[in-house]
């Protein structure tokens, strides 16, 4: 039996338990560190000086706590996760428990890919624009070239997705990034920059953003490999321009900082629940006693980790087709391919696809 199959069965069991057992997180984002090898204008994390890292044993305790709470999808982020030397061991532990993803700036990707690909379900590589635009926003020459070289190497090893953040300085590049994703035969995920405290204000002015969002929605409709749903773009247009907010379900996502603490409700609001590490918290109890009401109307960000899960409806046929049937099919294809190649947790034969 392929090593990926038990993960699928466990996630199904967790999902069923979640349906019965009140509020529970389904997706987790875990910052493995704040440190970074780049200095992006819009990013607050590389500027922080309060980083405390966990060792492997404590990282596993975090994973166990997340699994107990009901999490099925674990995404690693940072800072720059590829700076962690123990990343392969961390991913191996995670891959036995969750569907795994990681987002990287791609600078070290070609070099580290062989150690990490087999324990990832999806790899996201950030691209803020084409060529000089990306390099300027990332604060480092050659970062575009390095990221694209990483994508070219990874797309044959693991489903690879470009992660594009729309800022006030790259509005014209969004469609070109979609073109690049098509040319490279990978997916692309799009989010809108949020003005974090402590970072350069890079969120686009609402009036300037609208045409870009509408063009991206049109590209999605006409089959571009954009991971977000048409409803995702509709929700941004509705809440920011038409006065019809989407209803946020922030309990579907849990964030864990580098020291293992739960950031509740999210990094944008930067609130923490006490100083305890995740493994010392009864997350299910916290999730069902926390007052979520003030956040149900929170439409401040358009970060896909909150917006897209909040939009999911079991009664929406398009969601069922894309998010449940499509995702299961991609997963089964991957498991079958891995079994044939005798490589547990192996890879799909083509790039593209997504979580
Ligand atoms: C914080 S980075 C960490 C992972 C890795 N260093 C990278 O750049 O991909 C994760 C994602 O957050 C995005 N990001 C950075 N600053 C942001 C902001 N102010 N608003 C929205 N997304 C942002 C980045 O573009 C990147 O795709
Ligand atoms: S967005 Fe990623 S690459 Fe850029 S500074 Fe932040 S953590 Fe580093």
- Per-domain residue ranges of the chain: 5-342
Of all ligands present, the nearest one to the C-alpha of 192 is 1
Q: Which of 33, 43, 116, 304 to mutate to test the pocket of ligand 1 (most atoms within 8 A of CB)?
A: 43
At residue 353, the pLDDT reads 27
Q: Which ligand is nearest to the CA of 302?
A: 1
Residues in the chain where the model's pLDDT stays below 50: 1-4, 341-355
pLDDT at 76: 98
CATH homologous superfamily of 5-342: Aldolase class I (3.20.20.70)
Pocket of ligand 1, beta carbon within 6 A? 36, 40, 42-43, 45, 77-78, 80, 103-105, 126, 163, 165, 191, 193-194, 196, 199
Q: From the alpha carbon of 39, which atom of ligand 2 is closest?
A: 5
Residue nearest to atom 5 of ligand 1 (CA): 104
**Residue 3: per-residue pLDDT:** 45
Ligand 1 centre from 43 Cα, in Å? 6
Q: Using one digit for the tens of pLDDT, what is the confidence trace for 152-204?
A: 999 999 999 999 999 999 999 999 999 999 999 999 999 999 898 889 999 99
- Note the pTM of the prediction, 2 decimals: 0.88
Q: In this predicted structure, what is the pLDDT of residue 350? A: 28
Residue 282: count of CB within 10 angstroms of its CB: 12
pLDDT of residue 310: 78
170 Cα: distance to centroid of ligand 2 (angstroms): 16
């Amino acid at each position: 039996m392929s090593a990926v199959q038990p993960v699928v069965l466990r996630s199904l069991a967790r999902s069923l338990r979640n349906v019965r057992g009140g509020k529970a997180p389904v997706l987790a984002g875990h910052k493995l560190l704040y440190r970074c090898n780049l200095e992006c204008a819009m990013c607050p994390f590389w500027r922080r000086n309060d980083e405390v890292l966990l060792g492997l044993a404590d990282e596993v305790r975090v994973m166990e706590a997340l699994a107990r709470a009901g999490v099925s999808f674990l995404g690693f982020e940072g800072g720059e996760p590829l700076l962690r030397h123990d990343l392969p061991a961390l991913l191996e532990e995670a891959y036995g428990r969750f569907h795994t993803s990681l987002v990287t700036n791609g600078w070290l990707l070609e070099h580290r890919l062989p150690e990490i690909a087999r324990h990832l379900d999806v790899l996201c590589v950030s691209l803020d624009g084409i060529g000089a635009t990306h390099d300027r926003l990332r604060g480092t020459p050659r970062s575009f070239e390095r990221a694209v070289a990483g994508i070219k190497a990874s797309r044959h090893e693991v489903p690879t997705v470009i992660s594009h953040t729309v800022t006030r300085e790259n509005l014209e590049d969004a469609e070109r990034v979609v073109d690049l994703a098509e040319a490279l035969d990978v997916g692309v995920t799009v989010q809108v920059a949020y003005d974090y405290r402590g970072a350069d204000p890079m969120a686009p002015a609402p009036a300037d953003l609208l045409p870009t969002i509408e063009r991206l929605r049109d590209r999605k409709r006409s089959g571009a490999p954009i991971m977000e749903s048409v409803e995702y773009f509709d929700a941004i247009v509705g809440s920011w321009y038409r006065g019809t907010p989407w209803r946020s379900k922030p309990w579907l996502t849990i964030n864990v900082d580098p020291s293992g603490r739960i950031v509740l409700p999210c990094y944008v609001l930067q609130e923490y629940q006490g100083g305890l590490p995740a493994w010392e918290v009864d997350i299910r109890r916290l999730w069902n006693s926390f007052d979520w009401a003030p956040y149900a109307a929170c439409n401040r960000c358009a970060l896909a980790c909150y917006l897209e899960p909040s939009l999911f409806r079991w009664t929406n046929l398009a969601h069922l087709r894309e998010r449940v049937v499509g995702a299961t099919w991609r997963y089964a294809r991957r498991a079958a391919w891995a079994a044939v190649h005798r490589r547990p947790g192996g890879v799909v034969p083509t790039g593209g696809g997504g979580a």
